[in-house]
Amino acid sequence: MTNGQLHEGESIRVNGASAGVAMAAIQIASALGAKPVIAMSRSAAKLDRLSQFGVDAGIDSSRESQVDAVMAATGKRGVDLIIDTVGGPAFEANMDSRAVKGRLVNIARVGSTTAQIDLEKLWLKRLKLIGVTFRTRTEQERLECIQACARDLLPALEAGRLRLPIIAA
């Protein structure tokens, strides 16, 4: 929420959608009124089960073009925000599937820590690349994150709109 600056009505794509952090991102985006909430996974079975958590469209990245599927789901506009846990292998598709002024928040690099960037795409679309980690945050910054999380998410947790289910392979 904080780093991605997601607003109601904006579109979001979450990579590695069945993992814990990604599932939390999906539910938070849905609770905030993001539309569409797009989930990406290499498992069609996992994608089918994610619809109950706020996913509007699923992309099976082992079978279909990520970019084509995002463009179809967003009326060829692209997504406003991508939450990326994959890193390098998804980077080019992440660049190509974002809307003008789209944001990418990278929270993990399970696929690879490196990628090449086409600076013209970054420039023409006025994209933002945002890296997130707790490892380099001060104690004060960590406290501020916890306070923001409590302020923004406790009502949804109390109402049962956010939960962390286990989705097995």
Query: Can you give the pLDDT at residue 12?
Result: 96
Is residue 47 within 8 Å of 58, Cβ to Cβ?
A: yes
Span 52-71, average pLDDT = 91
pTM: 0.86
Distances (CA, A) of 36 to 11, 12, 115, 131: 5, 7, 27, 23
Catalogue all structural domains in the chain, each as residue range(s) with its CATH number.
Answer: 12-158 (3.40.50.720)
Give the per-residue pLDDT at 168: 56
How confident is the model over 123-130, as a mean pLDDT?
92
Beta bridge partners of 106: 84, 131
d(CA 117, CA 122): 8
Q: Which residue has the higher pLDDT, 154 or 80?
A: 80
Q: Hunting for tokens 């420039």 — which residue is that?
A: 123
β-bridge partners, 59: 40
Q: What is the pLDDT of residue 166?
A: 61
pLDDT of residue 67: 94
- Band (90; pLDDT cuts 50, 70, 90): confident
Q: How confident is the model at residue 56 (pLDDT cuts 50, 70, 90)?
A: very high
> For 135-144, what is each residue's pLDDT tens digit?
888 999 999 9
pLDDT at 16: 84
